[in-house]
Structure 1
């Protein structure tokens, strides 16, 4: 391709690159405003009840702006890729080198900017996951080809924001494990449910009677499906009274008292 025909294309690519930088700066500005409003609402949530307050409407507008900017960035990135494909030389000799270079560049860009380009809600979710280091959580550690979900209490060692993956430690493996020592696992975010904090009863949900939950069976470090017998606790620090599935004694399910901070919502699609 001659320089006269490619020059306008290169100018267009450079202009689109500048526009991409502008979009990212605008996203950072909007994200900063969202974080400020989040902090305000966390500090003084009662402000939304005051007449004339527009905090929630402003938050919705900021989220809409963030989504529009993100969509524009994605469209512009797609356009830039198409423009570069036109300029790249064809042929089998250049193909492997170009593919390798593109993959390396894509991997580097993802590593450097993936987290910064996340939506505020996803970023907050990742930060919350990272803050679980050292905490005990409920984890689905299901053996391969198993026909049911198995949940255990494990300790979070590390959370990788880029891979969105937890590294956890099963401190008390059961008697049926191959090894009697502690075992480590790497699990995706969807396999982890944080427990309510024992020193913060307000972090616990108030499950109504009849609600299905996952709960630590008394005297074990395993979680099983259970049904709430007594909900709407008078105090947030009160324990739950539950009936565990498959826990029959003399033909009936015994009611067991379980601390509030060892009960979590039953995940959708849970396999018994």
Structure 2
């Protein structure tokens, strides 16, 4: 591991801690506002009172901090995945072990988790809570020789190995595919979708922003550009997907907000 690699990991880890502390400060302010409004709800009717505007601003800040935390976490996990090849070293140790290795390995993993920053532990807990949820997943395609992004369902999250087991419920019409398929993927290959029933979890991507979105009537995600930000009445984005030309132009397609996520860093490198 080179010095620049270590510096990048430490920098992102410190940024996660900073974001987490800021979120805690904002949460305390929100709780204070809630108590104020619960005890004296009539205050909002007074001339010049800005309680509701203040509360809205705090929620906006909390949302932005949460989105930044997801972005930094994804970057950090990508850095770690690049430095720690999955499977190779662990399999080699199991072959040459004397029977006590599995126990030693588990103890080391547990201690590693305890040394994680509060933000990273919180991120692990969030992933564990995704069981049964649909997420966007970067899935290796052996035949195609590249990775693609699909909508899959989370089956299990292993905190020890930090791998997420997912189920591709609609693998396609290929009769040789054997129906639904399961994959074990690193955390950096998973992006949670915003919750359909919680608009506060939705991203607010501006026009011109590059995103990753589910192509209409499919379960595959592709790079797209935001043409029109989502409207509160429909909560749909108007997007133009790359390589989606029809008659020499890119058609504009409506995609629900809960099927649009940030474009992963380095997307071009593995497609």
- Please say whether Structure 1 and Structure 2 have the same fold, judged by a TM-score greater than 0.5: yes
The TM-score, its normalising length taken from structure 2, stands at 0.62
Could you report, residue by residue, the CA deviation over 1:38-94 in whole angstroms, capped at 9, with x for unpaired residues? 6674364476989xxxxxxxxxxxxxxxxxxxxxxxxxxxxxxxxxxxxxxxxxxxx
Give the equivalent residue in structure 2 for 1:227.
225
Contact 2:110–2:160 at 8 Å: present in 1 too? no
For 1:151, which of 149, 152, 160 is the aligned residue?
Answer: 149
Find the residue that maps to 1:142 and give its secondary structure: strand
What's the CA shift for 1:190? 0.7
Task: Within 5 Å, give how 1:1-272 maps onto structure 2.
Answer: 41-42=26-27, 44-45=29-30, 103=101, 106-144=104-142, 146=144, 148-176=146-174, 178-231=176-229, 233-235=230-232, 238-271=235-268, 272=271
Q: In terms of Rg, which structure is larger?
A: 1
Residue 106 of structure 1: how far off its partner (Å): 3.8
Gaps of 5+ in 2: 1-16, 34-53, 56-96
Sort the Cα spacing of 1:213 and 1:133 in 2 relative to 1 into closer, same or farther, 3 A.
Answer: same
Change (3 A) 1:124 1:47: same
Q: CA deviation at 1:121?
A: 1.2
Q: Could you state the TM-score of these two structures normalised by the residue count of structure 1? A: 0.61
Does structure 1 conserve the Cα–Cα contact (< 8 Å) formed by 2:167 and 2:182? Answer: yes
Aligned residues: 190
Q: CA RMSD in A?
A: 3.2
Whether the aligned pair in 2 keeps the contact of 1:239 and 1:259 (CA below 8 Å) is yes
How far residue 102 of structure 1 moved from its aligned partner, in angstroms, is 8.5
